[in-house]
Structure 1
Amino acid sequence: MSVNAVTHLNFRGDAHAALDFYRSVFDGDLSVVTYQDAGSVQDPAEADQVMWGQVVADNGFRVMAFDVPSSRPWDRGENAFFLSLRGETAEEVAAYWEKLAEGASVLQPLSPARWAPLYGMLQDRFGVTWVVDVAVAYEAG
């Protein structure tokens, strides 16, 4: 088993441009899923914004990003990043989730999602927001 933690940057409409920039800087591979791709459009004006994206480079650089929907609070100095914890199995992820959830505020319960066997979001007792999921290859539908 293995697990890794990745910086998950949050934007308001600029995630794709930021990921393109980081890809150009670090010569990595870009993956992007829009809200429309994931079937999760809440505001039609945001359908093409990034629900999940990442850049992974051979040199070890890795960053994730998304566009915070307008229905949720965001500004550059507040809620600017998440810590993304991705594991290989549901059992591994669930075990970490249970420990992180002690004294936490659950923002999205750990449960199956369209893009992963398990996904959840919580803010731990120290105010750090964690995005937790099982890492699987994304296949556009």
Structure 2
Amino acid sequence: MSIHLNPYLSFRGNAHEAMEFYHSVFGGNLILNRYDSIPGVMGDGDEGSKIMHGQLDTPNGLTLMGADMPDSMADAPDVSVGGSSVCIWGDDDEQLRAYWTALSEGAEIHMPFEKAPWGDTFGDLRDRFGVNWMLSLSDGSAE
């Protein structure tokens, strides 16, 4: 038996572009299902090309899901509201720095990826799709 927890990001018409970008950053297997792949589930007829469900599973065990909010859910919050962050942490210096570099493209940097007062290397940014990311590279002293 197993249980998993992963972010599910809500977009306003750019989920395909965002999920493809995250695929380029993290690698792995990306599955994108459009609203017109399962007629009548959600979304109006003119929303068929929007992403109903996207899932990215990476080689190192990360899972990121996302979808376009249908017009019928116009009042529901999406990633642009910025009420939460996706956090990636670990001790793989090369991989975390590569993620930071890729996510930084077109991003608003809130805190550069550098040594933090608590010893780890930490950075905080809002990517070009409005998703807040925090990356933390362990200094190894807690091991």
Counterpart residue identity of residue 37, structure 2: D
Change (3 A) 1:79 1:66: farther
Q: Which runs of 5+ in 2 are unaligned?
A: 86-143
Counterpart residue identity of residue 53, structure 1: G
TM-score scaled by structure 2? 0.51
Asked if 1:18 corresponds to 2:22, the answer is: no
Counterpart contact for 1:10–1:80, Cα < 8 Å: no
TM-score scaled by structure 1? 0.52
Change (3 A) 1:70 1:78: farther
Could you list the structure 1 runs, at least 4 aligned residues long, displaced by more than 6 angstroms after superposition: 78-81
CA positional deviation for 1:42: 3.3
Q: Which runs of 5+ in 1 are unaligned?
A: 82-141
Counterpart contact for 2:43–2:71, Cα < 8 Å: no
Change (3 A) 1:50 1:67: same
CA positional deviation for 1:69: 0.6
Bigger Cα Rg: 2
Q: Percent identity?
A: 36
Task: Tell me the residue number matched to 1:77.
Answer: 81
**Which SS does the other structure have where 1:36 is aligned?**
helix
Change (3 A) 1:32 1:80: farther
Asked if 1:55 corresponds to 2:52, the answer is: no
Number of aligned positions between the proteins: 81
Change (3 A) 1:50 1:60: same
Task: Tell me the residue number matched to 1:8.
Answer: 8
Higher-strand-fraction structure: 1
